[in-house]
Each structure stands twice: as C-alpha cells, then as structure tokens.
Amino acid sequence: MSDLLVSAAAPEDGITIAAVITTELVREIQARHDSWPTATAAIGRLATGAVLFAAGLEPGERIALRIVGDGPLGPVGADAWMLDDGALGARGYARNPHVDLPLDARGKFDVAGAVGAGSLQVTKSYADGQPYVGIVPLHSGEIAEDLATYLGKSEQIPSVVALGVLANPAGVIAAGGIIAQILPGADERSIARLEERALAMPPVTTMIAQGAGARELLLALAGDSALRSQREVAVRFACLCTRTKVEAAMIGLGPSELRAMAAEREDTEASCEYCRKRYEFSSTEIEALATRLEAG
C-alpha cells in the first residue's frame, strides 16, 4: 500500500490533526543508505516528522529538519516538499547510517543514544524570500518529543507528536506518525482531552502493523472531535540533487584538497548524501573547480 498523509481540522475543539503512513518511504531510505536498525529508526522518525510538518505546505515551500548531536549517528537530516503532481516528496540521511544499538530499557530503539545531545534546527523555505530558521536544544533525542518541544517553544503551538518505525535487520515493517496542534484560543479542556487520547492510543507502529491506515490513526487521535475539511496527499521518496549541487559540496573541500584528489586519480565519484546517486568528475573537471575557487 502506498504512503498517505491525511489531515483535518476540528475547529470546535481548537485542534488540527495530521496522520501519515511512511512505511514505503522509510523502506526506500533504508535501502538507499543500507542503514542499520537504530539508524533506520532515527532517520525514519525524522523523515516522518518532516512529512507531518509539511502537511500545510504550498507549492515551492519546503521543510528541512536537521539534528546535530554528539551520538554515533552524527548529523541526521530530513526534508519534505510538494512535488509537481501535488504529492509530498521526502528524503533523509544520517552521516553514519551503520549504527545499531541494543534496545533500551523499554524494549525500544535507543534513538536517543544514537543521536546524543545537541540541537534541532527547523528551516522553512518559501518560493521567494528568506527562509525561516528555528533552533532548539534537543529535549530527549527521541525525535517526536523534540519536534513537539520545538513547536511549543519556538512557534508557541502546543502539540502532540508521535512517530514510529518498526524495523529489524531484515527490513522495515511499519512506519508512520501523527501530529495534533492546538490552535490559538483553544480551551484547556480540549488540550487535556487530546493529551488523554494520545496517551491511551497504542503505539502508531502497532496500529500500522495491524493494518491501520493514515485515516484510522487520525480518527484514533481525533476521538469524538467533529472533523472538518479532511485532505489526503500521497507521500513518496524524492530527491532534489543535481550535478551542480554536488559540485558545490565538493567546492567546500577547498582548493588544495581538490588538487590532491585530481592528482590522485582519473575519476572521482561523489554521491548525494540524501539519495546516494553517484556523480562522476574527471580529474580535469576537479582541477577546473580548484582553479575557479582560487580565482574567487
């Protein structure tokens, strides 16, 4: 079944809700990066969070989430944006995808241990103008709580976020998430009821593994709230890399490093950190990059 995002508003209760299935997306990320289970859980949660944050995006806008922690994964990034056909595209990576830690005391992936302590950066880019960038210290490193903390602190939107990836060394079994945001002026009781329902729900991956779709997740969190204007959007893996962007990343190595690379071998392969697509550069092309750099 393909991935789907469903979003809705419950105006009487002052909340908006979105739920998404990302099993195929996380499978694609896992396969492209050959990520190990704990890394898959971390990248998959962050990519699922990016898709949920992207629920209300307009064409030309993009959400990028980046976690920089001191754990073995190194930086972890994910972003989501609207594709030409109206679906949401998303991608993700970790600097070190070969991380697998023992399960934590609750029998869950030790994502916090793999991420470490650090910060979460959220960037919203628009079709025109300056991007909006918010940054907060990591709250727990479990990612869902970090995203909820970001929304509460940085955007003053009290939120409930749940993200889940069920994976084993053989692959990704289920992935998805839900988000509920409290609209300004919502009363305390509806916030309390929302939190109660969120606590009472089984883990999202349990529901997805048992066959629940995005709509079922959404309805479970919505409870008896009267939903209006439900919207469905397909979600799939996509990348934005081009040869020029990979070149720009290589330029970051500096002229002496580039000259050394050109002297060392005929051809150098550089791959996109998000989709692992390989781009080949001849030693002549690399020399030219170094010359361009030195010329300023």
Helices 283-294 & 255-264, crossing angle to 10 degrees?
A: 160
Choice between 72 and 97, CB closer to Zn ion: 97
Name the one residue in this structure whose structure tokens are 């799939």. 236
What's the min distance (Å) between Cβ of 79 and Zn ion? 11
What's the min distance (Å) between Cβ of 109 and Zn ion? 26
> Applying CB under 5 A, does 272 fall inside the site for Zn ion?
yes
What's the min distance (Å) between Cβ of 31 and Zn ion? 14
> Applying CB under 5 A, does 247 fall inside the site for Zn ion?
no
Sign of CA dihedral 144, 228, 88, 24: positive
User: Per-residue contact track with Zn ion, 43 to 82, x per CB under 5 A?
Assistant: ----------------------------------------
> Applying CB under 5 A, does 183 fall inside the site for Zn ion?
no
Helix, strand, or coil (residue 294): helix
Residue 95 near residue 32, CB atoms below 8 Å: no
Judged by CB under 5 A, the stretch of 116-124, 182-190, 240-248, 282-290 that binds Zn ion is: 240-248
What's the min distance (Å) between Cβ of 51 and Zn ion? 17
Q: In the chain, which ranges are continuous DSSP H helix?
A: 23-33, 37-53, 111-115, 144-154, 188-200, 204-209, 214-222, 243-251, 255-264, 283-294
Cβ neighbors of 100 (< 8 A, separation 6 or more) are: 36, 37, 38, 39
- Based on DSSP, count helices (H) and strands (E) in the chain, helices before strands: 10, 12
Residue 275 near residue 91, CB atoms below 8 Å: yes
> Applying CB under 5 A, does 241 fall inside the site for Zn ion?
yes
Judged by CB under 5 A, the stretch of 174-182, 184-192, 277-285, 286-294 that binds Zn ion is: 277-285
> Applying CB under 5 A, does 157 fall inside the site for Zn ion?
no
What's the min distance (Å) between Cβ of 52 and Zn ion? 22
Choice between 191 and 239, CB closer to Zn ion: 239
Choice between 173 and 241, CB closer to Zn ion: 241
Q: Which of 239, 251, 253, 293 binds Zn ion (CB under 5 A)?
A: 239
> Applying CB under 5 A, does 275 fall inside the site for Zn ion?
yes
Judged by CB under 5 A, the stretch of 103-111, 135-143, 231-239, 284-292 that binds Zn ion is: 231-239
Q: Which of 53, 93, 274, 281 binds Zn ion (CB under 5 A)?
A: 274
Name the one residue in this structure whose structure tokens are 């993700």. 92
Residue 91 near residue 79, CB atoms below 8 Å: yes
Name the one residue in this structure whose structure tokens are 């940085």. 154
Chain contacts with Zn ion (rule: CB under 5 A): 239, 241, 272, 274-275, 277
